[in-house]
Amino acid sequence: MKAISFQSITKQYDSPKGSVRALSNVSFDIEPGEFFGLLGPNGAGKTSLISILAGLSAASDGRVTVHGHDVQKDFAQARRTLGIVPQELVFDPFFSVRETLRIQSGYFGIRQNDDWIDELLHNLGLTDKAGANMRQLSGGMKRRVLVAQALVHRPPVIVLDEPTAGVDVELRQTLWQFVARLNKQGHTVLLTTHYLEEAEALCSRVAMLKQGKVVALQRMSELLGASTSNVLKFKIDAILPEILAAKARVTGRIVQLPASNAAEIESYLTVLREAGLYPEDVEIRRPDLEDVFLEVMARGDVPQEFVA
């Protein structure tokens, strides 16, 4: 039995200006105990797919199951198996943190849940905030409570939709340590994130969406191995020549250029020398997930080497 199964999912929205297709025949399975990444640019269809999984939206066509339970026909059992951390900070301002978690437990018919609630509070750094009103918390603390709410009924499948967006380094480390531990204990995790270094570190397998279609679906090791280019990385205090700027990934002073062989690396350095530019901290590295992601998104077709 699959932890999650997306079967030919299509989602179409109708508006006065015409129909918009957010998802087109999306199909893939997530195995029990897997740490799975769902990646894509804004507007790729990730949120639509998560909304269908959560039962907040119905697919125009296709079927989604969670541990064999159809999210539409058997919604009660499907939702018992899911714990979802949404992107938005949604909370009730009239309750304390502990009251919020007790109420969430009640939604699932769970009584006397304080031992697990205490463990959640401890692992998410919320113990000293247990009696605080939700509206008194910072944005990062509210997000920690959302994670605790998603886990309060001990769901076998955990869905994290941009869980670390706009939060501090401490929360990221605390959250990932706890979630990684839950995953090792057998929980399935589905993660969407724009922080690709997190996905690379945590996920064993990845699906990439572009314009509502799956354009990559592979194990992380195979996905990274499919890229043939290394990367030339250096720092520079000047504007790059146009011939290099067109293919470079620039972050402040740091410049990264795809390089398939030594001759290409030498050609880059020659262009820099002829422009009177002298790079610092020059290194050649293997491609990371961000390199692969940009390569996949830049291609118009579905590259076979990135689809299992």
97-107 vs 139-151: helix crossing angle, rounded to 10: 30
Domain range summary for the chain, segments of one domain joined by +: 4-81+155-224, 228-286
Tens-place pLDDT, residues 217-255: 999 988 888 776 789 999 999 889 989 988 888 888 999
Cα–Cα dist 149/161, whole Å: 14
The sign of the dihedral angle between the CA atoms of 190, 194, 196, 197 is negative
User: Which portions of the chain are predicted below pLDDT 50?
Assistant: 302-308
Sequence-ordered list of residues with C-beta below 8 angstroms from that of 86, at least 6 positions apart, any chain: 146, 161
Indicate if 228-286 has the same CATH topology as 4-81+155-224. no
Query: CATH homologous superfamily for 4-81+155-224?
Result: P-loop containing nucleotide triphosphate hydrolases (3.40.50.300)
CB 181 within 8 A of CB 105: no
The whole-model pTM stands at 0.85
- Asked whether 72 and 62 are in contact (CB, 8 A), the reply is no
Q: State the amino acid at position 235 in one-letter form.
A: K
Q: How many CB atoms lie within 10 A of CB 172?
A: 15
Cα–Cα distances (Å) from 39 to 126, 152, 161, 291, 300, in that order, read: 29, 26, 10, 13, 17
> SS3 for 156?
coil
- In whole angstroms, give the CA distance from residue 250 to residue 200: 20
Quick one: fold of 228-286? Answer: Alpha-Beta Plaits (3.30.70)
Q: How far is the C-alpha of 54 from the C-alpha of 198, rounded, in Å?
A: 23
Residues 98, 117: Cα–Cα separation, whole Å: 8
Q: Which residues, 6 or more positions from 164, have their beta carbon under 8 angstroms from its beta carbon?
A: 171, 172, 175, 193, 195, 198
Half-sphere exposure at residue 168, Cβ-oriented, CA atoms within 13 angstroms = 9
Give the C-alpha separation, 37 to 304, whole Å. Answer: 19
Q: Note whether 78 and 84 are within 8 A (CB).
A: no
Q: How far apart are CA 285 and CA 258, in angstroms?
A: 10
pLDDT in tens, 247-292: 888 888 999 998 888 899 999 999 999 999 989 999 998 888 988 8
